[in-house]
Chains A and B, each alone.
Chain A
Amino acid sequence: MSPGTNGHADTGPVTRSAAQSRADARSQSDDLASLYPFLYAHPDNVGHDRPGAGDLEAVLAEVRRSTVDKAHQIVALRREVLARDSQRLAACATAMAAAFATGGRLFAIGNGGSCTDAADLASLFLHPGPGRRALPAFALTGDIAVLTALSNDVSFDVVFARQIAAFGRRGDVVVGLSTSGNSTNLVRAFEEASRRGLLTVGLAGYEGGAMAELGSIDHLFVVASDSVHRIQEAQTTIYHTLWELTLDELIST
């Protein structure tokens, strides 16, 4: 990425090899100053051709450092998720593939940012693009008429549980995403789904919250972080991985 009219033309092979060397060096050194010298340019040495430019450069330097920190944080967090859950991801994909193979459908649920992940997850299964098998999936977050009707007439806490009661059959799959793990409407939905014999898959953050306390979610993945953003980023990787492993499982069985 470049500002102005420069497009991205200067982020070619040189940048790729620099990033590769940083990736290679990561285990030997966490010394950001040597890996990212551009982060540590002293503000007094640059940009004094106009008033306030030193201040601007200092803030830009702070923002650059923060950007690099966050990229490194999510790489580290994904490593932790993989170390703890790789076997459980494979087992979950096996169960999901078995559900699809016997006519099951997938329902995805979540609130806020997780609502957009639910929509993305459902769309990924239903419309995965060329060469990949399309599977029956939809998000229970997409129909505003249903959501507002249930919220207005009953309670926001039942928006997903009531839809699962209406649509859900034994052998279907519910995937629910929450960063806190505490969304009441997800907890109610998982309870309803368990009662009806659906396969339940939960993605939570922090320490799992109420979703972990529930004890009944068949496959629960807790991203142990206290950053909502990093949790969401790791959860995106988890559902992408589940999708890919599920499709592979359907091909190989």
Chain B
Amino acid sequence: MPSADVVVVGAGLAGLTAAIAAAESGARVHVLAKGHAATHWGPGGIDVAGIPAASTPRDGIHRLAGQIGHPYAFLGDDVAAALDWIRPHLAAGGVEYVGDLDTPLQLVPTSIGGTRRAAILPAGQAAALSPWAVGERLVICGIAGFKDFWPEAIAASLSRERIWEGGNRPASVIPVSVALPGLAARHNLDALEIARRFDDPAWRATAIEAMARAIASVPGSGGRVALPAVLGIREHAAVLAAVQQRLPAAPFEMPLVPPSVPGMRLYEALRAALIRAGGRAQIGEMIQRIEHDGRRVTAVVSAAAARTFTVRTGALVLATGGIAGGGLVAERDGRLLEPILGLPVEAPPADDWLSVDAFDPAGHPLEKAGIRTDAELRPVAADGVSLFDNVRVAGSLLAGQRYVRERCGDGVALTSGWRAARSLTAVPAGHVAEPGSERP
């Protein structure tokens, strides 16, 4: 029977971060996940605290940490360290990140013609972060036949002052469309297919020439050009360098509706870092049950095609996500369950889950639902007593955050994953609490 020091359930940012950090410190790590996680849906940046009131991520962390029960109340001080730690791992996988906790939060344009607050973005998106100079234009360059990026609609929307909250914005937003070699007559292209084409150096050279000509045909000069986020998967760094060198305006990628190519790059970089650190990951595993002896988890039993798989383990990191990831399951009768360990879920009553308006500025009470932990990320009962000594909870499963609305999900995932691993593998002796003695 295989055995591990740490089993991580979940392969999103939190789970893979925990796994890399644990494997780096010498632990034998095994990641089990039922499938890909939110990385494949998200824009591929690291959103730490993009709340409207905040000037920088650091300011945002400080504001969120002041909320009762927010994970940043006990994680906030570690975000900088976790971010510094992950950067070289991601860079080694070909994904450089630009921006840090003191980078001003900027409104960056999106592929539905809206804006979102960001400060830490992969290099491919980073050109969107600088303020717009006087008279600077933005070209929106679409790809003919690609149905998930509509330059006319995006440009029309971004030409409105209110989308930029009345602040700094491009002087003009101009749409253009380019036919890429061999794709013009194609239908039902998806982002991943185009990205794979860009990985091919010969095709890429012709495609970038066509893009350069199309952009040059637009009135005006310089400025920036927004492209759909399809600039390569494995060869992204090379594609980006070529695009930056050849296009007559500073290029940046706009993330699209799923599947998210920048998210896949982030996932691949994390997975590669895990393998380098000596960890293992198995995707496609449904957890069947957890074996434990009361206060300690001893084994994880999962089911894949036609067989069950049991891993003995010294510890467990639960990074199964929130409602979207399936880490929390809402029953018709109004109960909210954590299906792996059956942990108690902190949640409002079912009648109060959702506000009347989809876009209620106050959000939906259900967004804050999750698992309550102590400061060491051990799950606790309603009375605050920890339930398992060798279990840690990380990521969107943690109660008290609005991971989408507060744009804090990546920061919480990264920091809690990193902290969970350290807590399980390298905790200074003085920090070890007696079972049940610690209260949040």
Determine if chain A interacts with chain B: no
Q: Report B's interface with A, CB cutoff 8 A.
A: none
